[in-house]
Amino acid sequence: MNTDNTLLSTLGIEVIHASKDYVEATMPVDERTKQPFGLLHGGASVALAETVASLGGFLSIDQEQEICVGLEINANHIKGKRDGVVTAVGKPIHKGKKTAIWEVAIVDEKDDLICISRCTLAILPKK
């Protein structure tokens, strides 16, 4: 998968592991991902979470016949982060014929929870 010139490359997101049942990715907390007060931007966390969920969803479908797209996402920002790296771990909590739901936990280097997110994906026929 080529991620050049995408949001992944812009935010420095790196996929560590990807399968239909588990996705892990990292993102730096730096000038690309911080808000003006010096903390990790909630939108960057949401982008990381949706990236993880969407990748897992994509690996779970019949890629010849289907596509999956984000339908809804929510996130609770638990703890601030000023620098370093965050890691997102996503696992499916529902895999249906028309939708999938993934839960994504974003943690810091000490495994402290930074953000918890739930992403619903729509599974659509390829046209």
- Enumerate domains of the chain plus CATH numbers: 7-125 (3.10.129.10)
Report the pLDDT value the prediction gives residue 116, as an integer from 0 to 100: 98
- CA 104 – CA 107 distance, rounded (Å): 10
Of the residues 24, 50, 66, 109, only one is catalytic, namely 50
Report the pLDDT value the prediction gives residue 86, as an integer from 0 to 100: 98
Token pair belonging to 11: 């935010």
- CA 82 – CA 63 distance, rounded (Å): 38
Model pTM greater than 0.75? yes
- CA 67 – CA 16 distance, rounded (Å): 23
For the chain, 127 residues long, give each residue's pLDDT as a single digit of tens.
777 889 999 999 999 999 999 999 999 999 999 999 999 999 999 999 999 999 999 999 999 999 999 999 999 999 999 999 999 999 999 999 999 999 999 999 999 999 999 999 999 999 8
The three-state secondary structure class of 90 is: strand
- Catalytic status, residue 72: no
Size of the chain in residues:
127
